[in-house]
Chain A
Amino acid sequence: MIHNYLLLSIILFCLGIVGVISRRNVFTVFMSIELMLNAANLAFVAFSRFHENMDGHVLAMMVMAVAAAEAALALAVVILLHKHKSKLDTNVFSLLKG
């Protein structure tokens, strides 16, 4: 049974990666990251049930809390970015170019 859960988790994670890499809108990138986090959560919970202990659940709750905090911070950053350039295209922000 666990295979199916893990399969779903991997699919969600890969979707997240593809989203982060291919999309240029900051919000979409952000949502893709959330997707990856939840893919990880799914794997945690699945393993937790499989091994019949609560560690995975604890970590899943932890990840959710971190994700919430991260969302608050990330949205603030997004607002600043928008103020700065009036755009939400990640390709606009390329100051690190060597």
Chain B
Amino acid sequence: MEQSVNYLGLIPLFPLLGAVLIGLVHVFTCKKIKVPEMVYGILACVGPVLSFIMALKVFVALKALPAESRFLGHKVFTWFSVGDLHIDMGFLADPLSCLMLLFVTLIGSLIHIYSIGYMGGDKNYGKFFSYMNLFLGSMLILVLGDSPVVMFVGWEGVGLCSYLLISFYSEDKQNVLAGNKAFIVNRIGDLGFVLGMSFLFWGIGSQGFDYISLKANVHHLSPAIALTVGLLLFVGATGKSAQIPLYVWLPDAMAGPTPVSALIHAATMVTAGVYMVARFSFLYAHVELAGSIIAWTGILTALLAAIFGMFQDDIKKVLAYSTVSQLGYMFAGVGVAAYSAGIFHVFTHAFFKALLFLGAGSVIYALHHEQNIWKMGGLKSKMPKTYITMVIGALALAGCPPFSGFFSKDEILYSALASGHFGIWMVGVLVAGMTAYYTFRMIFVVFHGEPRDQKAFDHAHESPGVMTVPLIILAVGALFAGFLNLPAIFGGDQIVSHWLAPSLTEHHPHTSIFVEILAIGASVVAFVIGIKIAYTKFGQGASEPAFSGFTKFAYNKFYVDEVYNAIIVQPYKAIGSSIWKVLEPNVTDGPVKAASKLYMAIGTAFKVFQVGYVRVYAIYMIVGLSIMSLFLSQSLN
């Protein structure tokens, strides 16, 4: 049984309180007086930083326990109890959630600090930070929840906050539509999550619905139900973590302010799906078919997003597709039952993706909200700090040894190969090369060569310290986070994997050293080829290419959005409008209106009795009483 502590609930509480406080200050002052931005900035950063300190405390407490009993619990109150379903508002810290906690709060805090600079001058400064704190708080509930139901609270919370923040610049209709898209697509995934949760409860929920009980009882679940639950939960994950077929919202989510993109992509939201699968590793470990489906979905998403990423001309869209692609890797990892590898990639990805987004934000900020990479160029000399940190991030993303992304990506690819998923490994290596290509295409076009827009270039300047310091901290993370899980071949002992082991149900396959060298060698070769092609094409400066044939097809993202629109959205709208225009007036309106007409007729008929004179009412009374008296006297006799 887990040890009980009373401070876990505080971790999500700090940012949530911050959100309420900032929100109240903003609501009561935005019309009259202007609160200094610094007040909001400090209020906003207090919550995340306090949460980070608490997360460190949790880490220390867990570290002090013996490895197999590293569970800290905190039941705050009984949320509801109906029949067999007994749900506590409870929190659980084990090595898995502790790792998530640490980097979510650390990166969340850094992004908050960065936002103080980036959002400067915005008229909804307070609102922004209120939403940001709420976002982080929701994510912490998601991570810490001790049952799927509590997790679902956070799950919905991040969905809501992503909607609020993506459509933050709500004057522009496109942004609002992007927010709507994110929310609606996420709802589709959430339906899968709710159904999966219901099946899980139906199967084994009556013995307790928190993770520890579920883990203990999972073997009572019949294989068919386990597969159903696994796949339905994964549908939820595809929505939240942007996998095929529900990935379409994430690139559009770039409509939000850049720190929001960083927060969504690095610390909160999209990592939720991977975390969820790892959290349910006790379930997925039993259903291999679900694992294979997850792994293949993941790797195909990685491939598709990498193809799209190669042709984007918006700096944030390149990064967005790289996130989708990296998330694909993570799912490939958890799909082949290498849960620790998947989570480790989540962890390293958080650092370098936050770094890249904040770096991109720094560029966008310097160029006065210009996002098209074909209008940038030569910024290396103007923004040295941003350049160096972004190159570190790009190297990590591309998987260059010894940057963090190399170790985590290699771990996943190695696990795929070692567990016999040869196809997944092949696609993974291909995607690694493509990743290197599109990442450095972006770096070369933005920072190298000649300025393409002289006027914007002349106005460009390095960002203030409040923005560059988080960049530097993240760059250090992107550089060194990989060493935390150094595989044995490099003389490390996989600290992260061992740390996570008590939370996860996985077994590490033992293979020959040849397989390991093959995996590493292939990744490195793919990286070198990718970066070489990028350098030859864009290293010396290049002009905006014209697309034709396949490249045009890829530039337009295979017209997936248009296809979805044609086969799902439009028919849905048609059904809606036919119900509204045909079914409703002709069928359902009939009885409803008839009922109202009936009451109207009865009312009109009785109106004649309501003459309004007191005397007449007195007569009614006397007549009524007389009849009653007669009746009474009759019955008495």
Binding site for B on A (CB under 8 A): 17, 20-22, 24, 29, 90-91, 93-98
Contacts and interface: CB of A to CB of B under 8 A. Distances in A.
Given A17-B622, A21-B618, A21-B619, A94 B609 contact: no
B618 A94 contact: no
Contact of B615 (A20, A95, A96, A97): A20
Interface string B588-625: 00000000000000000011111111110011001000
B612 A96 contact: yes
Contact of A97 (B606, B610, B619): B610
Given A21-B622, A90-B614, A90-B615, 20 more contacts: A20-B618, A21-B615, A21-B619, A22-B615, A29-B614, A29-B615, A90-B613, A91-B613, A93-B614, A94-B612, A94-B613, A95-B612, A97-B610, A97-B611, A97-B612, A98-B608, A98-B609, A98-B610, A98-B611, A98-B612
Contacts of B614: 29, 90, 93
The 10 lowest CB-CB distance pairs between A and B, nearest first, are: A97-B612, A98-B610, A94-B612, A98-B607, A90-B614, A96-B612, A20-B618, A21-B615, A94-B613, A21-B619
User: Contact size class for B?
Assistant: 10 to 19
Contacts of A90: 613-615
Nearest to B610: A98
B32 to A, nearest CB: 45
Contacts of B606: 98
Interface of B: 606-615, 618-619, 622
8 contacts: A17-B622, A20-B618, A21-B619, A29-B615, A91-B613, A95-B612, A98-B611, A98-B612
B451 to A, nearest CB: 82
A39 to B, nearest CB: 14
Contact of B610 (A22, A24, A93, A96): A96
A95 B610 CA distance: 10
Nearest to A24: B615
A79 to B, nearest CB: 17
Contacts of A93: 614
A17 B626 CA distance: 12
Contacts of A97: 610-612
A90 B608 CA distance: 19
B600 to A, nearest CB: 13
Contacts of B608: 98
Contacts of B607: 98
A93 B79 CA distance: 58
A94 B611 contact: yes
A46 B393 CA distance: 108
A98 B607 CA distance: 5
Contacts of A17: 622
A15 B226 CA distance: 88
B378 to A, nearest CB: 84
Contacts of B613: 90-91, 94
Contacts of B619: 21
A20 B608 CA distance: 22
Contacts of B611: 94, 97-98
B612 to A, nearest CB: 3
A22 B618 CA distance: 10
A29 B404 CA distance: 98
A81 to B, nearest CB: 11
A56 B539 CA distance: 115
Nearest to B606: A98
A29 B619 CA distance: 13
Contacts of A22: 615
Contacts of B615: 20-22, 24, 29, 90
Contacts of A20: 615, 618
Query: Which of B607, B612, B622 is packed against the most chain A CB atoms within 10 Å?
Result: B612
A31 B399 CA distance: 104
A91 B607 CA distance: 18
Query: Which residue among B608, B610, B618, B622 has the maximum number of chain A CB atoms within 10 Å of its CB?
Result: B618
Nearest to A33: B618
A40 B512 CA distance: 113
A93 B608 CA distance: 17
A97 B614 CA distance: 10
Nearest to A94: B612
